[in-house]
Amino acid sequence: MRDEDFLRNKVPMTKSEVRAVSIDKLQLLNKKTFLDIGAGTGSISIQAAHDFPDLQVTAIERNASGLEIIKQNMAKFCIKNIDLIAGNAPEAIPDKIYDAIFVGGSGSNLESILRFASEHLNSAGSLVLNFILLENALKAQKILAELQFTKSEIIEVAVSQWHQLGKGHYFKPNNPTIIMNAIKGE
Ligand SMILES: C[S@@+](CC[C@H](N)C(=O)[O-])C[C@H]1O[C@@H](n2cnc3c(N)ncnc32)[C@H](O)[C@@H]1O
């Protein structure tokens, strides 16, 4: 799905290249349930729901303008398999087991969200997180080790866009994104 097709209205959005890698690491094939925490514009939820039509997606967002944009994007892309929850994570997240969990935003609740994920992720499920700040990634890595996530992979995705400058061209860099991927078990 193309970034320019999503309505945004200044709500922060996960860009297509980061979305592609994050969704790949969620390993959604044959999964039944997926939770997207801090859904923003809904781009991760909508792409996952679109690419895996049998997947039931739960998207949670606390920001009113984000919620409005997610509703508009769901209507624009004719997406029906998303339950949109308005509220603060983790308190407002429906209490059930999820096959995959994505954390795109956590505010000051990173630790409680990771504890929720640890208790509500299927034992064979994938947890994927995006960070801009190194400090938040380091904090998450420490908490995930305490919560007995046995394997975690951390990568940085740095994408640069082709831009014209005068008569020439250059690659204008986007902010790099840290993608963390953690599982329990083997
Ligand atoms: C970087 S944006 C996520 C972008 C999103 N993945 C997308 O593709 O549009 C982070 C979002 O997390 C939301 N957020 C942060 N902490 C939250 C929390 N504790 N509960 C619910 N939403 C939260 C913010 O309001 C913001 O919209």
Residue by residue, pLDDT tens for the chain (186 residues) are 999 999 999 999 999 999 999 999 999 999 999 999 999 999 999 999 999 999 999 999 999 999 999 999 999 999 999 999 999 999 999 999 999 999 999 999 999 999 999 999 999 899 999 999 999 999 999 999 999 998 889 999 999 999 999 999 999 999 999 999 999 876
Q: What's the 29 CA to ligand 1 centre distance in angstroms?
A: 24
Give the pair of three-digit tokens for residue 157: 């995705």
The rounded Å distance from CA 104 to ligand 1 centre is: 6
164 Cα to the center of ligand 1, angstroms:
32
Q: Answer whether CATH 3.40.50.150 is correct for domain 3-183.
A: yes
Segments making up each domain of the chain, as ranges: 3-183
Provide ipTM, 2 decimals: 0.99
Indicate whether residue 130 lines ligand 1 (CB < 6 A): no
Using DSSP bridges, classify how beta strands 177-183 and 151-157 pair: parallel, antiparallel or unpaired. antiparallel
Is 90 near ligand 1, meaning CB less than 6 Å away? no
Cα dihedral sign for 105, 107, 109, 111?
positive
